[in-house]
Amino acid sequence: MSSICEDILANGVITITGECKGCDACVKQCPTGAITVNGLGTKHAIDPEKCVNCGRCLVACPFGRIQDVSMVEDVKAAIAAGKTVVVQPAPAVRVALAEAFGAEVGTNAEGKMFSALRELGFTVVYDTLFSADLTIMEEGYELLGRIFKSLGLPGYENAGVLPQFTSCCPGWVRYAELFHPEILPNLSTAKSPMMMLGALIKTYGAKNLGVNPADVYSVAIMPCTAKKFEASRPEFISSGYQDVDAVITTRELAEMIAEAGIDFASLPEGEVDKLLGTGSGAGVIFGATGGVMEAALRTAYAVVSGEELAVLEIDAVRGEGALREATITIPLNADLKAATGAESVDVKVAIVSGVENVEPVIEQINAGTCDYHFIEVMNCPGGCINGGGQPIEHSIF
Amino acid sequence: MSHIERIIGDPATITRREAIKGAVTVVISAILASGIGTFAISSIEKAKKYITTRIGGLYSQDAGMTLRVSHANPEVITLYETFLSPGAVAPAESELSHRLLHTVYGSDVEHHIAHLKEVSIEEAIEETDASYLGAAHAAE
Ligand code: SF4
Ligand code: SF4
Ligand code: SF4
C-alpha cells in the first residue's frame, strides 16, 4: 500500500488549511458535525474520527481553503514507468468534466472524456458504468434473497435482514460504521461499482489482456473525495493485490488535461475498450439520487415477474427531495406464484439524498416500525453529480 | 511550482502535507471555467440549479440508449458465464463472486482480511470452476 493510502486511513482525505477565515460556511454543510469551531472568525479544524471524507465542506468553502489529498503524482509516475495503467471513470464524471472547460452545465462529454484519457497515456479505458450494472445484479439478487426469506420461501434461510441499504456510497458506509454500527447487517454486502471493477481488472481483466496483474496500475476517476478513502481500505485486496491503486477526482482530471495542454473541446469522440467497458442506461443514472433505486427496480421487476417493465422511467423514485418513498407492485412469475400463493409483491422503497436525512429511517428500524424493503442512501444532496470531487465553478455565483 | 500555484500564493500552508492539493485545484477549476478566475460566495439556489441540470444530463443519456437494463448487458452476461459462475448467470452465488464482489463492515473487517490472505485468488477460481463445471459434468 502506498504511503498516501496509509496517510488517508490515519488522517482522512479532507483538511482545512491555516488560511481558514472562520466564516462557518463549511460547518453548515458538514453532515456529521466533524468541523470543530472555536468561534466565528477563528481557524476551524476537521476531526478525522467524525469525518466521512465527503468533501461537502470543500465545495462550500467560499475561500477555497479546504483541500483533499491528491494521488495525481502517483498516477503520473505509473504512466511514466510504462505500467499497464487501466482507468475507469464513474457515471457522474461525464456530465461534469466539460464544465471545467467552459461547456454548459450538464453537457455530456463521454466520448471526449475517453479521448482525453487516452491522450493522457492511460493504457486501457474501461468504464464504471459496466460495474454499475454488475452491482445491480449482485445487490439486486441479494435483495430478492432477503425478501424471499421474509416470505418464508425455502432455500433463503441464510439471506440477510430487511430492510437492505445500498452500499455504493463510501460517505454513507463510513457514516454507518462511525455512528450506527447497529444497522451494519442491513447494509448490502455488495461492493461499490468502483471496487467491483477494481477486483475484476487485476483478475479477469489482466487474464484477458494477457498481462501480469503485478504490472497493472488501476486508477478510478470519481466525482467523489470519499472514494479515495474507500480505495485505501485494507480489505480491498481480493485480487491478491491492492484492487484500486489510486483515485483522482473530476477536478483533478480536468487539471491534468489542462496541464497537458490538451484542447478538450476539439477532442474527437473516443470509444471505450470492450470486455469491461459496456454499460446500460441503468448504470448511467447511478450518478443521480434515486438512480441506483431505479436501476435496481428495473432488474428486480424483470427477475420477479419474468417480464420487462413497459415504461422504464420510474417517476415515483425520481426527484430531489431529501427523503422520498414509493411502493412498486411487481407481479409474480409462475414459480413464485406457486411458492407463495400470491399474485404480486409490493416492494416498498425509500431514497435518502444527503446522508444526515437517513436519521429518521434508522430511528424507525431501531424501533422495529420500518417496513421498507430497500433504501438508497447518497451522502451528497442530489447524488454523485454533486459530489465533493466535481468541478466548482465559482464564476457562476 | 506551477504558474497557477504562484498566482494564488499560500505555498507554505499548502505543503502541510505534500500530497494535499485540493484548494489549488479548486482555484484552477474556477480559472478554467471563467477564464479569469473570479471568486465569489456560493449560494444554495444556484447549487440546486447545478444539481438539476447535471441530473438531467444523466437521464437524457439513459433515455437515448438502446441498452437500458443491467441484466441485458452482454459483457456482464459473458463475465458470469465465463468467469464468475462458469456456464451460468448466477449473481451473488459463487465463491468467486463473493470474494471479488462482496465485502464486510465494521468489526468484521479484520477477520475478512485474514481470510483473503489465507485463501488465494487462484484457489477461489479453482473452487468456483469445480462447483460449476463439475456440476455441469455430473448433469450430463
Ligand atoms: S468555509 Fe472555508 S473559510 Fe469558512 S470556516 Fe470553513 S474552511 Fe474556514
Ligand atoms: S469531508 Fe464531509 S464529513 Fe468531513 S468535515 Fe467535510 S463535510 Fe464534514
Ligand atoms: S454521494 Fe457519491 S460523490 Fe457523494 S460521497 Fe457518496 S459516492 Fe461520493
Domain holding A111: CATH number?
3.40.50.1780
**Amino acid B140: pLDDT:** 56
CA neighbours closer than 13 Å in the CB half-sphere of residue B127: 13
Q: Is residue A397 part of a domain?
A: no
Same domain for A127 and A17, yes or no, is no
For helices A250-259 and A110-119, the axis angle rounded to 10 degrees is 60
Q: Is residue A6 part of a domain?
A: no
Distance CA A97, CA A54 (A): 19
Q: What are the CA-CA distances from residue A2 to residues A218, A244, B34, B84 (Å)?
A: 13, 11, 36, 29
**Residue showing cell 421498507:** A372
Nearest CA to ligand 2 atom 6: A57
- Distance of CA A306 from the midpoint of ligand 3 (Å): 33
Q: What is the CATH number of the domain that holds A326?
A: 3.40.950.10
Average pLDDT, chain B: 75
Same domain for A196 and A125, yes or no, is yes
Which protein residues are within 6 Å of ligand 1, measured from CB? A 16, 20-26, 44, 61, 63, 65-66
Contacts of B67 (CB under 8 A, 6+ apart): A278, A279, A280, A281, B73
**Residue showing cell 511514466:** A80
Same domain for A327 and A357, yes or no, is yes
Instruction: Kindly tell me if the per-residue pLDDT of B44 is higher than 70.
Output: no
Ramachandran bin of B35, using left for φ above 0, alpha for ψ from -120 to 50, beta for the remaining angles: left
Instruction: Kindly tell me if the per-residue pLDDT of A394 is higher than 60.
Output: no
Distance CA A254, CA A134 (A): 28
User: Are A238 and B121 spatial neighbours (Cβ–Cβ below 8 Å)?
Assistant: yes
Same domain for A376 and A325, yes or no, is yes
The interface predicted TM-score (ipTM) is 0.95
Residue in A387, A355, A388 with CA at minimum distance from that of residue A33: A355
Residue A120 amino acid letter: L
Q: Is residue A222 part of a domain?
A: yes
Contacts of A292 (CB under 8 A, 6+ apart): A135, A136, A166, A168, A286, A376
**Amino acid A37: pLDDT:** 85
Buried (b) or exposed (e) across A189-204, using 16+ Cβ within 10 A? bbbbbbbbbbbbbbbb
Confidence grade of residue B135 (pLDDT, cut at 50, 70, 90): low
- Distance of CA B18 from the midpoint of ligand 3 (Å): 25
Instruction: Kindly tell me if the per-residue pLDDT of B73 is higher than 80.
Output: yes
User: Are B127 and B95 spatial neighbours (Cβ–Cβ below 8 Å)?
Assistant: yes
**Average confidence (pLDDT) over A359-386:** 97
- Interface contact flag, A386 B50, Cβ < 8 Å: yes
Q: What is the CATH number of the domain that holds A37?
A: 3.30.70.20
Same domain for A43 and A118, yes or no, is no
Q: Strands A35-36, A216-222: parallel, antiparallel or unpaired by DSSP? A: unpaired
pLDDT, tens digit, for every residue of A147-188?
999 999 999 999 999 999 999 999 999 999 999 999 999 999
Q: Which of residues 26-55 of B touch A (CB under 8 A)?
A: 26-30, 32-43, 46-55
Among A53, A73, A113, A238, the strongest candidate for a mutation testing the B interface, having the largest count of B CBs within 10 A, is: A238
Least CA distance to A290: which residue of chain B?
B55
Contacts 24+ apart (CB under 8 A), B24-29: B24/A67, B25/A70, B25/A249, B25/A251, B25/A252, B25/A255, B26/A58, B26/A64, B26/A251, B26/A392, B27/A64, B28/A251, B28/A254, B28/A255, B28/A258, B28/B4, B29/A100, B29/A251, B29/A254, B29/A255, B29/A391, B29/A392, B29/A393
**Amino acid A274: pLDDT:** 97
Write out the three cell numbers for A83.
505500467
Residues of A catalogued as catalytic: 139, 142, 168, 188, 227, 230, 235, 384
Domain boundary among A36, A52, A68: A68
- Taking residue B11's Cβ as centre, other Cβ atoms within 10 Å add up to 11
Contacts of A308 (CB under 8 A, 6+ apart): A301, A302, B69
Same domain for A243 and A148, yes or no, is no
Q: Where are the alpha helices (DSSP H) in chain A?
A: 3-11, 25-29, 56-60, 72-80, 110-119, 128-150, 170-179, 193-200, 206-209, 226-232, 250-259, 281-284, 291-305, 334-340, 359-367
**Amino acid B4: pLDDT:** 29
Same domain for A247 and A106, yes or no, is yes
Nearest atom of ligand 3 to the alpha carbon of A172 = 6
Same domain for A236 and A375, yes or no, is no
Same domain for A200 and A110, yes or no, is yes
pLDDT, tens digit, for every residue of A266-302?
999 999 999 999 999 999 999 999 999 999 999 999 9
pLDDT, tens digit, for every residue of A298-357?
999 999 999 999 999 999 999 999 999 999 999 999 999 999 999 999 999 999 999 999
Domain boundary among A241, A266, A291: A266
Confidence grade of residue A11 (pLDDT, cut at 50, 70, 90): very high
Distance CA A326, CA A372 (A): 9
Domain boundary among A68, A88, A107: A68
Q: Is residue A19 part of a domain?
A: yes
**Amino acid B30: pLDDT:** 44
Write out the three cell numbers for A260.
497537458
Confidence grade of residue B133 (pLDDT, cut at 50, 70, 90): confident
Q: Is residue A5 part of a domain?
A: no
- Taking residue A80's Cβ as centre, other Cβ atoms within 10 Å add up to 10
Residue A226 amino acid letter: A
Average pLDDT, chain A: 95
For chain B, say whether A223 makes contact (Cβ under 8 Å): no
Lowest model confidence (mean pLDDT) among A39-48, A193-202, A246-255: A39-48
Same domain for A301 and A348, yes or no, is yes
Q: What percent of chain A has pLDDT over 70?
A: 98
Give me the number of domains chain A comprises.
3
Q: Is residue A274 part of a domain?
A: no
**Amino acid A395: pLDDT:** 46
CA A270 to chain centre: 24
**Amino acid A80: pLDDT:** 97
Confidence grade of residue B138 (pLDDT, cut at 50, 70, 90): low
Residue B102 has its nearest CB partner, among A130, A191, A258, at A191
Coil vs helix vs strand at A62: coil
Same domain for A209 and A97, yes or no, is yes
Write out the three cell numbers for A56.
461537502
Q: Is A31 exposed, middle or buried (0-12, 13-18, 19+ CB in 10 A)?
A: buried
**Amino acid B139: pLDDT:** 58
Q: Is residue A394 part of a domain?
A: no
Distinct helix (H) and strand (E) counts, chain A: 15, 12
**Residue showing cell 444497522:** A183
**Average confidence (pLDDT) over A383-389:** 96
Domain that holds residue A28: 11-68
Q: Is residue A273 part of a domain?
A: no
Coil vs helix vs strand at A46: strand
Write out the three cell numbers for A212.
501480469
Instruction: Kindly tell me if the per-residue pLDDT of B22 is higher than 50.
Output: no
Residue A187 has its nearest CB partner, among B40, B58, B105, at B105
pTM value > 0.80: yes
Same domain for A208 and A112, yes or no, is yes
**Amino acid B130: pLDDT:** 93
Residue A311 amino acid letter: V
